[in-house]
Structure 1
Amino acid sequence: MRGSSLGYLFKEGARNVWVNRLMSLASIGVLIACMLLIGSSVLLSVNMNNVVGYVEDQNEVVIVLEDDMDQSELDELDDELHDIENINNIVFVSKEEAFQNEKDKLGDAAELLREDDNFYPNTYRIKIDDLEFLDETVDEIGRLFGVEDVKAPTDIAETLTSVKKLVITMGMGIVALLIGVTLIIIANTIKITVFNRRKEISIMKYVGATDLFIKLPFMIEGLILGLISAIMAYFILWGGYSYLLSWLEENPSTWIQSMYGSILPFKEIGLKLFGGFALGGTGLGVIGSMIFVRNYLKV
């Protein structure tokens, strides 16, 4: 195909968008609505997962040590704890430090406490990377020399693990469902668009135009519509998400403020969403046009 013919077909595809502007607007509207639904579901799923992860990080495991351990045994235990993969943020709290913390909490009443009243043990306070493996990690810690007891939020861990799995499963399910609905709606929209121009396709076929020559303007039209829809959906979603973040930031609720830090900034996922919108929109437009134009090429 000559360059002049290719240029003509590109211009023809772009012209078709304007000539058939009512159907073009309908196609763009459907694409934007579907992209917004899918994008919102992705953002909700990702942020819910982050919030659950934030709550996971607030849970602490306390390792109570035996009183008669000397410094060399404490050092050896510290090395062994650092070798366990599912543990992070290991903090040693001596019995003296724990006693002093209690005195600080009591304020003026701390004078009633004497050093002989220090019944606090040496402890380690640790965070768990993956609460799903909390029980296995606790068992491994409990077998270490010098460990008297391990206090872990087992019930909370089970609840958070279940919630995290549910969020991931539901998020994937909703996105998959919306993609399926989107495919059906867009396919029907493209089908109607091509049907309204079936006479034009037949005339081009009768005057000797090749199948590719007829398909290409429709493919370019679908690509343009998909790209326009992706750009508009991206900016609408960006604006709505930014407004929501501003509202959350200004909300006086302590709970919301504590969760705000775990909300994903739009810039960290925005380009990926736009890439998905652009690829999906243009792909659906081009492939849908090819499929339905083919039905009217047999004359």
Structure 2
Amino acid sequence: MKINTVRRHLRESFKSLGRNGWMMFASASAVTITLLLVGVFFVIILNMNKFASDIENDVEIRVHIDLTAKEADREQLKSQIEQIGQVKSIKFSSKQQELRDLIKTMGNDFKLFQQDNPLYDVYIVKTKQPTDTPKVAQKIQKMDHVESAIYGKGKVESLFHVLSISRNVGLVLIIALLLTAMFLISNTIKITIFARRKEIEIMKLVGATNWFIRWPFLLEGLWLGILGSILPILIISSGYFYLYRLVAPRLHNQFIQLLHYGPLIYGIDGLLLLMGVFIGIWGSSMSIRRYLKV
């Protein structure tokens, strides 16, 4: 494509935006509203997924070692647990440490047990995949010198089931919202192009090629996508910035955390810009196709 032709297409696309100001405003508004909804939904879903991952990673197996087990028995048990393929890490906590943690959590009343500590030495086991926790706990429970392998049986399985459903529902909703956005924006742009069908027909009748006609409309879709994505990017960036400053300190030292501002927002901003450009160009391309058949 020649430089002069490129300049002509760019010039015509900008002129068209000015001539059809209200229709362009309607199209850009449709892009803005849709991308704003998509962006907000992405922020919510990604943080929910982060919460789910934090909860899953907090699941652990507490292996209570038999009170009669000697040090050699404990080492042998540790070796057996490490040989389980799904095990990620194993940490030893003595009964003295367990009592200190209990006093710190529950209060000084439990200092009475310092003279005669009734607690167990414990191995704290984490699996590579949190969903493997029940299977690993069952294997450990059958080993020698194991009093019990506790992981929250029943509750953990229910938790994993709920988290799995939440992720699947979130994915379906995102896809549905994106398809709805493309449909709405395509129809809005189609109305814009319908108002200019005579212009397209005249250009065809005087010998213009399909791509010569199509390029200015594709560029209009590009500008509409960019314009429509600016406001959602600004709103979501500033909104999440203030939300993060408000909520993050309150979640300090908690096992669930908000996603860090920078990586999340930069990713979503780039995604919204790309989506705006893609939807604008795609909508223009789909809408103009029927009017090129003269």
Q: TM-score, normalised by structure 1?
A: 0.85
* Alpha-carbon distance, 1:111 to partner: 6.8
CA distance in 2, matches of 1:264, 1:190: 36
Aligned to 2:156: 157
Aligned to 2:276: 281
CA distance in 1, matches of 2:206, 2:133: 73
> Is the 8 Å Cα contact of residues 248 and 257 (structure 2) preserved in structure 1?
no
Aligned to 1:138: 137
Letter in 2 for 1:177: A
Aligned to 2:267: 272
Aligned to 2:51: 51
Aligned to 1:263: 258
Letter in 2 for 1:48: M
Of 77-86 and 192-201, more deviation after overlay is shown by 77-86
Unaligned runs of 5+ in 1: none
CA distance in 2, matches of 1:272, 1:206: 46
**Number of matched pairs:** 293
* Alpha-carbon distance, 1:129 to partner: 4.7
Provide closer, same or farther for how the CA distance between residues 217 and 155 of structure 1 changes in structure 2, counting only shifts above 3 A: same
Aligned to 2:174: 175
Residues 85-132 of structure 1, C-alpha deviation per residue, up to 9 Å, x if partnerless?
444453312234445666787759847853xx3333322233445442
SS at match of 1:279: helix
Aligned to 1:166: 165
Provide closer, same or farther for how the CA distance between residues 159 and 258 of structure 1 changes in structure 2, counting only shifts above 3 A: farther
Letter in 2 for 1:50: K
CA distance in 1, matches of 2:140, 2:113: 36
Structure-to-structure mapping, 1:215-294, within 5 angstroms? 215-249=214-248, 262-294=257-289
> Is the 8 Å Cα contact of residues 28 and 229 (structure 1) preserved in structure 2?
yes
| 1:23 to 2:2 alignment | no
CA distance in 2, matches of 1:121, 1:196: 79
Residues 198-224 of structure 1, C-alpha deviation per residue, up to 9 Å, x if partnerless?
121122222222221111100111111
Of 46-55 and 196-205, more deviation after overlay is shown by 46-55
Letter in 1 for 2:274: L
Residues 113-152 of structure 1, C-alpha deviation per residue, up to 9 Å, x if partnerless?
53xx333332223344544222211112123332222122
Q: TM-score, normalised by structure 2?
A: 0.87
Residues 228-282 of structure 1, C-alpha deviation per residue, up to 9 Å, x if partnerless?
222332222111222222332466xxxx666695211232233332333233222
Residues 50-78 of structure 1, C-alpha deviation per residue, up to 9 Å, x if partnerless?
22333334444221112333323322322
SS at match of 2:78: helix
SS at match of 2:154: helix
* Alpha-carbon distance, 1:49 to partner: 2.1
CA distance in 1, matches of 2:34, 2:177: 7
> Is the 8 Å Cα contact of residues 36 and 233 (structure 1) preserved in structure 2?
yes
Provide closer, same or farther for how the CA distance between residues 297 and 100 of structure 1 changes in structure 2, counting only shifts above 3 A: closer
- Cα RMSD, aligned residues only: 2.8
CA distance in 2, matches of 1:100, 1:261: 24
> Is the 8 Å Cα contact of residues 9 and 216 (structure 2) preserved in structure 1?
yes
Provide closer, same or farther for how the CA distance between residues 86 and 44 of structure 1 changes in structure 2, counting only shifts above 3 A: farther
Aligned to 2:4: 4
Unaligned runs of 5+ in 2: none
Residues 19-73 of structure 1, C-alpha deviation per residue, up to 9 Å, x if partnerless?
2221111111111111111122222112112223333344442211123333233
| 1:188 to 2:187 alignment | yes
SS at match of 1:63: strand
